[in-house]
Structure 1
Amino acid sequence: MRTGMTTKRVIGAAWVVALAASVLGAAPAGADGRGPHRGYSAADLRRDLAVVRAAGGGDVNVVARVDRSGRQPLRARLGTQGLGSTAPVPWDPEFRIASTSKTFTAVVVLQLAAEQRLSLDDTVEHWLPGVVAGHGNDGRRVTVRDLLQQTSGIYDYIEDPAVQDRITGHFDDNRYDDTPPRDLVAVAMSHPPNFTPGGGRWAYSNTNYLLAAMIAQQASGGRSWQELVEHRVIAPLGLTHTYIPGANPYLVGPHERVTITLPDGTAADLTEQSLQHTADSGVVSTPADLDTFFRALAAGKLLPPAQLAQMRTTVPYDDLPVPPAGTQGGYGLGLRVVPLTCGGTYDMHEGDGLGVYARPAVSADGSRAVTVSLTTTTALIDQDKVDRAVQALTDHALCDTPAP
């Protein structure tokens, strides 16, 4: 949430998985980037991925994939399938992509805007009367655009102390929790807003995307966000390993076991859980499917030009490290737009979940995409340090620049 069921950094960074061994996988034949083009190669990807793993203290499983127009993909992996396993992590593991789900949700809202079934300037009150109210909250002042761009000021339900306690203090008692989104919004409404929208301020809140999905359901005649994403994004793109399990706690394809070390030193397996079931965090995908999705989005296959331009219209954010280009970039409508050292920008949206982290990115023209998946192990990670290592890998891969 920055997963749907953890705070952006605090809880996501706290979940750790115990591993038995680590395996550096070779790239598949024909994917080493050798030949007349001497840009970013599979060897570079393996070196960069080793830096990412080291940034995590060595206690992370990592998988990376780079897709490029007209060329074979590059792949690299480090780690095992989980506690007690010596088998390498799958090349294309399914994992809960956490807040990267927000980009999927934003796409269907913008599709509905393109069809004039809603407007980004509609207020929350217009679509959800009385839902955003109390303790200084006022749905008449918050627009759909504010929700998607994280400029609403609405409190992040994940930061509620009772929600935090259920996840961190009593996870096993709540691993199958499927609390309805409306009830989670009500949790947020028990807190005053962080600020009044319209003043140029920004703050990340998972609640925004619960509300955006509820509005999409109203505007589409009652279709849930799951149905909208499945029928408008997943099926048209043929994303065969992308799905929304909802209250079903199981992953169906090859994946890693997610294990944490509890404060008392015992290990707990988090792999099966339904806490991440809502529109802010509920999608399961793979590196290959995420590259396909982001390339299609950047290439204009999911949104008309006007809506894609609005998606990329940004405001400043301050919750991630400054990338290698030295400029932070901005947050659009379910996208971060980040500068590259070689010029231009790329689009991305991170996902920080229960022991699993997604880092997909795509060049502005959709010609190149890279996804890095991380699973924590036995030690807490320095998430800023990991983010910087992933940013460097992303910059090298999208600029087609050899790793140093």
Structure 2
Amino acid sequence: MSIRDRSTRMPARRFGLALVAGALVLSCIPSAAAARHAPNRTAAELQRDVNALLATGATGVLAEVSAGSHRVAARAGVADPAGRNPVAWDAKHRIESTTKPFVATVVLRLTAEGKLGLDDPVDRWLPGLVGTEVTVRQLLGHTSGLPDYADDVPLAQATTAEQFDRERFRTYSPGQLVAMAMRHPPEFAPGQGWSYSNTNYVLAGMIIEKATGAPWQQAVHERIIEPLGLTGTVIPGTSAYLPSPRLAAYQRLRPGDRPVDVSTRASGHADASIISTPRDVNRFFEALLGGSLLPPAQLKEMQTTVRAEPFEAVWDEPGYGLGLMRRRLPCGGWVWFHGGGWWNAITDNAVTPDGRRAVTVAIASSLDPGQDPTAQAKASAALIDHALCADAAGTPYPRSGNPAMTAS
């Protein structure tokens, strides 16, 4: 569904799992796998959920649950439909809009350092781009009313393999993307509503560069990736290639056409360009909610949410803060998360409020164009619910005290 469909107020398709539009095709190729150690109940449960997720229309799935040093992982399907190799345990995947909490964390770190303010007008940092009323806070929380550029990019409009091949290596400056968005009228006056817009985070990246005098990628690397030792995380800049080992996503752009490897495409902006692994994403969210990336005041700002009504089809009581979402678990309590997805590369995740337990799922989706992704989103949410609700039932998942259960 296009973001231009104002009757439904759906978020742009780049957000990901709950409402991914333009989902893609290939027959499922099941390939069960288990953790390194002999299967036990927790590993079997995760494998069951991964298999169920694969069956909703995916070519490959990789999930990892972590609780401190204790981990359990499961995979199903293939790394690349062009071959028969199983998904690698350290497969790299485009996490798309899960980039946003990384970027929001950097902005909040800069506010803690006194380098910028959440209530600074964007015009102070980027004069003349979006008017004088929009603030930094509104960018991070999607309350700016700024239109989304995502469906205006020629790559998003590709309907044939030839068009995709022509556009996949084309790059745009942040200013060009903002200009695409600003051709459209605002969704609402700044601060008077909520509407997901990737334009907000393109602007946030530009503000980071103004405040630090360095590329936003460098700020994320220095403040998050390097200190946390996220060795599987890459910010590719204008490179179109997904590093190996990779979890490749394919799409059939029209019924009957050959599937296209849509993992190879340029994506270099602060809204959705980070490449990572489930393990690294878990480490990031554990550190963020555990308090080691932000001072308490800034983390509280990040966790101040407004209702995110378009996501209620999948999640219970979803709210959006500053680059961080929350939802209620079926067993009670809340989790924090931020999914992402575009061109069938889907990431889903969640972390407990104390940062002690996290789960991330990487999905190479294979839904047909126009096919409703809700069942896939619910299957992923169920996997996460089962992993995080086990604690509430008194059976930690993975069990505390067990050896790490990662795969060879």
Q: Normalising by structure 1, what TM-score?
A: 0.88
Whether 1:396 aligns to 2:386 is yes
| Alpha-carbon distance in structure 2 between the residues aligned to 1:332 and 1:307 | 12
Deviates more, 1:289-298 or 1:83-92: 83-92
Structure 2 residue aligned with 1:69: 68
Q: Deviations over 1:118-160 (max 9, x none)?
A: 010001111111011xxxxx3x111101000000000000133
Q: Deviations over 1:15-62 (max 9, x none)?
A: 435468321101221674x6xxxxxx11111122222223x23x4311
Aligned partner of residue 319 in structure 1, secondary structure: helix
Q: Aligned partner of 2:340: which letter?
A: G
Q: Aligned partner of 1:104: which letter?
A: F
Alignment of 1:198-347 (within 5 A): 198-199=191-192, 201-220=193-212, 222-263=213-254, 264-274=256-266, 276-322=267-313, 327-347=316-336
2:309 touches 2:318 (CA, 8 Å); kept in 1?
Answer: no
| Alpha-carbon distance in structure 2 between the residues aligned to 1:252 and 1:175 | 16
1:11 touches 1:168 (CA, 8 Å); kept in 2?
Answer: no
Q: What's the CA shift for 1:319? A: 2.3
| Alpha-carbon distance in structure 1 between the residues aligned to 2:380 and 2:249 | 21
| Alpha-carbon distance in structure 2 between the residues aligned to 1:7 and 1:167 | 17
Uncovered stretches (5+) of structure 1, i.e. residues with no partner: 35-40, 133-137
Aligned partner of residue 303 in structure 1, secondary structure: coil
Q: What's the CA shift for 1:166? A: 4.9
Q: How many residues align?
A: 381
Deviates more, 1:256-265 or 1:281-290: 256-265
Whether 1:385 aligns to 2:375 is yes
Whether 1:175 aligns to 2:164 is no
The percent identity for this pair of structures is 41
Q: Deviations over 1:359-380 (max 9, x none)?
A: 0211110110000111023635
Structure 1 residues 393 and 146, CA gap change in structure 2 (3 angstroms)? same
| Alpha-carbon distance in structure 2 between the residues aligned to 1:351 and 1:85 | 26
Structure 1 residues 152 and 86, CA gap change in structure 2 (3 angstroms)? same
Structure 1 residues 5 and 330, CA gap change in structure 2 (3 angstroms)? closer
Whether 1:149 aligns to 2:105 is no
Structure 1 residues 341 and 155, CA gap change in structure 2 (3 angstroms)? same
1:153 touches 1:202 (CA, 8 Å); kept in 2?
Answer: yes
Uncovered stretches (5+) of structure 2, i.e. residues with no partner: 4-10, 398-408
Aligned partner of residue 126 in structure 1, secondary structure: helix
Structure 1 residues 365 and 323, CA gap change in structure 2 (3 angstroms)? farther
Q: Normalising by structure 2, what TM-score?
A: 0.87
Q: What's the CA shift for 1:11? A: 9.8
2:95 to 89, 92, 97: 97
| Alpha-carbon distance in structure 2 between the residues aligned to 1:31 and 1:208 | 45
Structure 2 residue aligned with 1:26: 34
Q: Aligned partner of 1:28: which letter?
A: R
2:328 touches 2:334 (CA, 8 Å); kept in 1?
Answer: yes
Q: Deviations over 1:61-98 (max 9, x none)?
A: 1111000135x311111101222322211123101110
| Alpha-carbon distance in structure 1 between the residues aligned to 2:222 and 2:110 | 13
Aligned partner of residue 22 in structure 1, secondary structure: coil
| Alpha-carbon distance in structure 2 between the residues aligned to 1:388 and 1:189 | 34
Structure 1 residues 341 and 146, CA gap change in structure 2 (3 angstroms)? same
1:20 touches 1:86 (CA, 8 Å); kept in 2?
Answer: no
